[in-house]
Amino acid sequence: MKSIMILTEGGSNIGLGHVARCKALYDEAVAQGYEVEFIVNTSDESIQLLEQSDVQYVDWCKCSFIQNKIKDHHNLIVDSYLAGKTVYEQLVQQAGHCLILDDLNRIDYPNDATVVNLSLEASESRDHYYSGKDYIILRKPFTESRHKTINQDVERVFITLGSAGNQSSQALMESLAGHYPHIHFYVLLAGDESVESLDQHNIYRLDQLWPKDMIEQIIQADLVITAAGQTLLEIIRTQTPFIPIATADNQQNNVSGLIDGGLSMKVVHLDSPMFYQEVLQQFERLLSYQERQKLSDDLSGLIDGNGSKRVIQLLINGGQD
């Protein structure tokens, strides 16, 4: 049986987007009966998201690890922004086959590797390069189809901007909660970020959520304000109306996909000097039942939830779909 090794990175200082999607691939590969090693480069002692997984915490970018641990029977999945071209070349040389997950064509990857670009927008196709919504990786609870009911009024809003948006999340929810005292605002802050005050009766702090709890928060929400990364893709699967916030450069393909697909009139950038005003403008537009219902309808079937299966198939087939 072919052996799979997953190499990624994450933690409180750089976020958990890579870890989350690699965990989804780990679960899919294990479910298919493959022997899987899951290795994470992190400064944290452990990652709560991986507590129920067989995971090793190792700096796998070191030359000594690659030479001693990567063998030609390994099929590698690599998801990293820290690894440079030299590291990828060493991995490809050592392994039987290397599949690289990427968001923005960060570097010129080795020709012998398979590259999967994970975004809403499909890029120009070429040998051993795949992109677009068919390859979007979702955590298991999000692969199942759920019926979304759009309520007439917005009563519950979920805010999740990830680690990059921690500092803005509190000010944003306080501003919105002050404008709309009848709406309940639930905010998920990454890491140990503290909320200075919860004076408004309609603000609620959420701690780190397991995937099954995350999907419940999204499904229950009438509207989600989200970073335009991995969580956005999971929200799209649920057909929940959303306001996307670009919090990092690697979200640009998702941003382009939203605009080109007519799923968002505007993507607000976290560093915009008019950030709060722009979010408020989008918020007011989506208070309309008709606008939210139309967006939910447009999201139907956009992501089918089978991306993890397709990625594992590409890996096992040596880059052939």
For residue 188, list its beta bridge partners.
160, 206
Q: What percentage of the chain's residues is helix, strand, coil (to nearest 5)?
A: 40, 20, 40
Domains by residue range for the chain, with CATH:
3-138+305-316 (3.40.50.11190), 145-299 (3.40.50.2000)
The CA–CA distances, whole Å, from 294 to 136, 154, 232, 277, 283 equal: 23, 15, 17, 23, 15
The Cα 185–Cα 285 span in angstroms is 17
Predicted local confidence at residue 17, as pLDDT: 84
Which residues of the chain form beta strands (DSSP E)? 3-9, 35-41, 55-57, 74-79, 97-102, 114-117, 129-131, 156-160, 184-188, 203-206, 223-227, 242-246, 268-269
The Cα 309–Cα 319 span in angstroms is 13
pLDDT < 70: residue spans in the chain: 1, 164-166, 190-200, 321
Predicted local confidence at residue 59, as pLDDT: 94
168-193: per-residue pLDDT in tens? 777 888 889 989 999 999 988 765 55
Predicted local confidence at residue 171, as pLDDT: 81
Confirm if 104 and 250 have CB atoms less than 8 A apart: yes
- The residues, ordered by sequence, that sit 6+ positions from 295 with a Cβ below 8 Å of its Cβ are 241, 242, 263, 286
What is the dihedral sign for C-alpha 285, 255, 189, 77?
positive
Confirm if 129 and 320 have CB atoms less than 8 A apart: no
Predicted local confidence at residue 198, as pLDDT: 54
72-108: per-residue pLDDT in tens? 888 999 999 889 999 999 999 999 999 999 987 788 8
- Residue 238 corresponds to which tokens in the numbers above? 């649920």
Predicted local confidence at residue 192, as pLDDT: 52
Predicted local confidence at residue 190, as pLDDT: 65
- The residues, ordered by sequence, that sit 6+ positions from 255 with a Cβ below 8 Å of its Cβ are 228, 244, 246, 267
- Residue 243 corresponds to which tokens in the numbers above? 């306001």
The Cα 30–Cα 249 span in angstroms is 32
- The residues, ordered by sequence, that sit 6+ positions from 52 with a Cβ below 8 Å of its Cβ are none
Predicted local confidence at residue 194, as pLDDT: 52
Sheet holding 55-57, edge to edge: 55-57, 35-41, 3-9, 74-79, 97-102, 114-117, 129-131
